[in-house]
Amino acid sequence: MNQLDQLFNQFYTNAIEDSVKAVGPVERKLALKSRLLELLGDFSYLDETRVDMQPELMETVEADGYIRERILLPITQMIDIPVYVLTPSKKQATYPAVLALHGHGDGVKEALGVGDDGEIQQEPGIHSQFAVELVKRGFKVFAPEVIGFGERRLTRDIEEGKQNSCEAMATNLLMEGKTIAGLRIWEARRILDYIDTLDDVDHDKQGIMGFSGGALIAAYTAALDARINATVLTGFTNTFKGSIMAMHHCIDNYIPGILNYAELPEWISLISPRSLFIESGEHDRIFPNQFVKEAIAEIEECYHNRRHNFAYDIFPGAHEISGRKAYDWLVNQLG
């Protein structure tokens, strides 16, 4: 370890030590939630330009055991979110709902496991067609195209053939005191507003599941929004020091100043006492298993009096979704 390594370790240590405040757990939790909103950036302008959320139905496909609709959901005068809505074919008055958030890759179609032609792909990929797995278990699933991916890239990135617009969007927002994470979380909460208007959703049984960058959105959305009853995070739970500070990650993971208030496990713990499931591959190289275990141990302490609300699965895989325990857990929580 050279002197510069020591210097940056000291920066980290100083930030963590300064973040420890002598206040009670309830007060600290409330303070952290308030601080998180500030750190993510001010998007109040968007609230001022919101429009009636009257979705336009773009496509309907009858699949095996479910109906897949693609809607275009207007949020503001300049934001329309493409959302795939998956509804079980078996009719019932209301369904438990899950907001399904994809990670890096080709966009929302990875969560559905469909190609550009709309057909189901034989190879599920690292997203494991998790939106489809959820609808097959009785959930009404809402899978949006996260801003910066797929058809929601900037023109310059589409023309240059870039897979996403994370860097371009994030750097522009950082110059304005905002974050791409904040914008994505703001959009996720607006989709929850839309779900609130639906008669066929059981509003007491709403969950969220995210993978990788989608899990970042899911974690902070669930921390801030009590409408989420159960959360599944895959390929994300770790420590900042062990993951995004230890190796190259997409810039959309970085929120300026966040380490001055808490490490990642404590931010995730803001979800408690509502239900939380953590899933991680033991060979995930960008969210290393050693630090997954450290984070889980810290988060688990926040559920000491509600152990039935917390569970985890470290499966024999890499940076990918497994679902071998997570799906059934979500059914038990929201069923």
Task: Report the greatest alpha carbon distance in the chain.
Answer: 65
- Of 193, 264, 180, 263, nearest in space to 228 by CA: 193
Tokens standing for residue 141: 């699933």
Instruction: Record the pTM.
Output: 0.96
Amino acid at 258: I
Task: Say which residue the tokens 């803001």 belong to.
Answer: 270
The DSSP call for residue 278 is E
Average pLDDT along the chain, 335 residues, taken 10 residues at a time: 91 83 81 97 96 97 96 97 98 97 95 80 87 98 98 97 97 98 98 98 98 98 98 98 97 97 97 98 98 98 93 98 98 94
What is residue 123's predicted lDDT score, i.e. its pLDDT? 79
Q: Are 239 and 231 in contact (CB under 8 A)?
A: no
Residue 224 zone, left/alpha/beta (φ > 0; ψ -120 to 50; rest)? alpha
Tokens standing for residue 173: 């927002």
CATH architecture under which domain 25-334 falls? 3-Layer(aba) Sandwich (3.40)
CA 158 to chain centre: 24
pLDDT tens per residue across span 104-121: 999 999 999 888 766 777
Tokens standing for residue 293: 């275990």
Q: In this structure, what are the phi and psi dihedrals at residue 61, rounded to the nearest 5 degrees? A: -130, 130
The verdict on whether omega for the bond into residue 273 sits within 30 degrees of 0, i.e. cis, is: yes
Domain residue ranges in the chain: 25-334
- Of 311, 95, 309, 93, nearest in space to 205 by CA: 95
DSSP strands (E only) in 196-274: 201-211, 230-234
